[in-house]
Amino acid sequence: MRMIIHKPNYYLIVVVFILMVFGLIMLSSASAVLSYENFGNNYYYFVHQLIYGVIIGLVVMTITSKIDYHVWSKYAAFLLLATLLLLCLVFVPGLGLELGGAQRWIAIGSLTLQPTEVAKLTFILYLATWLEKRQQGIKDIKYGLLPFLTLI
């Protein structure tokens, strides 16, 4: 199979970068006092997000951008089922972590995961695949809209 290499969408990269910088500025502004009270450093949350959010996120973005999008559509249903399993694991004693009165996290050792964040991505991927397979049929409300709303 011949591998086709496309040029990156530079507009999308610039928009992602602008949103990332704007988010970091907002985080720094909103959390400076709390960061200082909790850790004695005005920029603790900023640095934490920079390391664990931005750097890791950019690495993952770079890796996933190299994967042909057809591969994602092949595994969309499996990824959705795996995500539904993750959402259910929140309620398993010993795995589910309660913070702020709500049990939304999975904790395995020092690693924590909020399955709803994964669900957002896999749901979009699954619905895009679903809509792509039914192209013309989605014009009918019973065939195109109702199953979509049921999934939501």
72-85 residue pLDDT tens: 889 999 999 999 99
pTM above 0.75? no
What is residue 71's predicted lDDT score, i.e. its pLDDT? 87
CA distances from 73 to 7, 27, 34, 70, 128 (A): 21, 34, 42, 5, 8
Residue 142 pLDDT: 76
CA dihedral 72, 73, 77, 80 (to 10 degrees): 50
What dihedral do alpha carbons 43, 35, 27, 21 form, nearest 10°? 10
DSSP the chain: -PPP-PPP-HHHHHHHHHHHHHHHHHHHHHHHHHHHHHHS-TTHHHHHHIIIIIIHHHHHHHHHHTS-HHHHHHTHHHHHHHHHHHHHHTTSTTTEEEETTEEEEEEETTEEE-HHHHHHHHHHHHHHHHHHHTGGGGGSIIIIIHHHHHH-
The tens digit of pLDDT for each residue in 77-115 reads 999 999 999 999 999 888 888 878 888 889 888 788 899
Spatial neighbors of 113 by CB under 8 A, at least 6 apart, are 86, 105, 106
Question: In tens digits, what is the pLDDT along the chain, a chain of 152 residues?
Answer: 455 667 888 998 899 999 999 999 999 999 999 999 999 999 999 999 999 889 998 998 889 888 887 888 899 999 999 999 999 999 988 888 887 888 888 988 878 889 999 999 999 999 888 888 877 767 777 777 787 788 77
Closest Cα partner for 130 from 102, 97, 152?
152
Q: How high is the pLDDT of residue 46?
A: 94
